[in-house]
């Protein structure tokens, strides 16, 4: 029987998961693939999610010099990511966010585990970009997608609960976390019976800092935000895609486990919001500590 297609969402959705839809997730139990096997020769090129292992392997080779020499990524606590399914939650920033590729690349190369990134469906609708995004493990941030990956396939899933509000932050707002939506990521983790792993990342804010936003132009083009970045002022049109060589430091915090049964019909709204706010506070506190200990933007 053919697998159902990954679910999509309207383009104006943020990266938080829809709680109303999450309350009625299917309870399918398909055979579980081996998430630790990244050998493309032993896997079909494109899996049920549209992810291509050959494409991921190629991009890892191309991105490795950027990861090592441009961003000089340094991890702390990578061993805290538990085996099996887990929902990774991180801060999000930069006009064209540089944090997601760094996190996904580091986990796949250091741990040898595939990871899927949930993002706004806007990216999937872009010509060419949407297809490549899907081939590289990107999926619309729909609760059905998260549930199947976490509960049924024991995969790692990366989500940014700040949604599009994170990358839209200007320079004076850097490293100040936006509200984590309605706590949908917490309910998905509860329902799937997996922990949430908070991740704090410093460096992405400086790789492509936003000086001002142009809301009227964003509305005219149907975009979530329209930024003017320092990169554009320095490099002209090339600055729209070229990052500054900021030093990245990524800290994995202790996993958060929830003392609730999976697959319940309903979960306490107050508990969901309390857990969501507590996770946000953990990431915010870690960011402030990392910034206090940072010697400079470029050298960490």
Q: Residue 123: which pLDDT band, with cuts at 50, 70 and 90? A: low
Percent of the chain with pLDDT over 70: 79
| 263 close to 191: Cβ distance less than 8 angstroms | yes
Tens-digit pLDDT profile for residues 12-48:
344 454 434 444 444 444 444 454 455 544 445 888 8
The half-sphere exposure of 152 on its side-chain side, counting CA atoms within 13 A, is 14
- H-run or E-run covering 228: strand 227-229
The CATH number of 19-293, from 3.40.1130, 1.10.3470, 3.30.70, 1.10.10, is 3.40.1130
Q: What is the mean pLDDT of the chain?
A: 84
Tens-digit pLDDT profile for residues 132-173:
788 888 888 889 999 999 999 999 999 999 887 877 788 888
| 33 close to 153: Cβ distance less than 8 angstroms | yes
Q: Encoding tokens for residue 65?
A: 């010099």
Strand, coil or helix: 247 = coil
Q: Encoding tokens for residue 225?
A: 């935000």
| 254 close to 195: Cβ distance less than 8 angstroms | no
CA distances for 254 relative to 114, 115, 251, angstroms: 20, 19, 10
Please give the average per-residue pLDDT across 250-255, as a whole number. 98
Please give the average per-residue pLDDT across 220-234, as a whole number. 78
């Amino acid at each position: 029987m053919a697998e159902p297609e990954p679910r999509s969402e309207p383009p104006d959705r943020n990266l938080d998961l829809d709680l109303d839809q999450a309350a009625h997730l299917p309870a399918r139990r398909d055979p579980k693939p081996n998430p630790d096997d990244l050998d493309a020769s032993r896997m079909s090129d494109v899996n049920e999610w549209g992810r291509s292992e050959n494409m991921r392997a190629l991009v890892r080779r191309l991105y490795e010099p950027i990861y090592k020499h441009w961003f000089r990524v340094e991890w702390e606590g990578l061993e805290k990511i538990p085996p099996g399914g887990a929902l990774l939650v991180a801060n999000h920033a930069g006009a064209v966010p540089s944090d997601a590729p760094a996190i996904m690349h580091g986990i796949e190369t250091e741990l040898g585990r595939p990871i899927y990134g949930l993002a706004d469906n806007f990216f999937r609708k872009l010509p060419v970009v949407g297809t490549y995004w899907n081939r590289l493990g990107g999926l619309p941030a729909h609760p059905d997608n998260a549930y199947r990956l976490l509960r049924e396939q024991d995969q790692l899933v990366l989500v940014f609960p700040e949604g599009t509000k994170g990358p839209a932050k200007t320079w004076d707002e850097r490293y100040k976390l936006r509200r984590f939506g309605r706590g949908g990521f917490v309910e998905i983790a509860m329902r799937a019976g997996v922990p949430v792993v908070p991740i704090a990342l410093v460096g992405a804010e400086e790789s492509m800092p936003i000086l001002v936003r142009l809301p009227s132009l964003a509305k005219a083009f149907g975009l979530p935000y329209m930024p003017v970045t320092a990169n554009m002022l320095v490099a002209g049109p090339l600055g729209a895609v070229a990052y500054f060589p900021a030093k990245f430091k990524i800290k994995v915090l202790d996993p958060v486990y929830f003392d609730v049964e999976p697959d319940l019909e309903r979960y306490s709204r107050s508990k969901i919001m309390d857990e969501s706010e507590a996770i946000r506070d953990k990431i915010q506190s870690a960011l402030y500590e990392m910034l206090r200990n940072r010697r400079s933007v470029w050298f960490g």
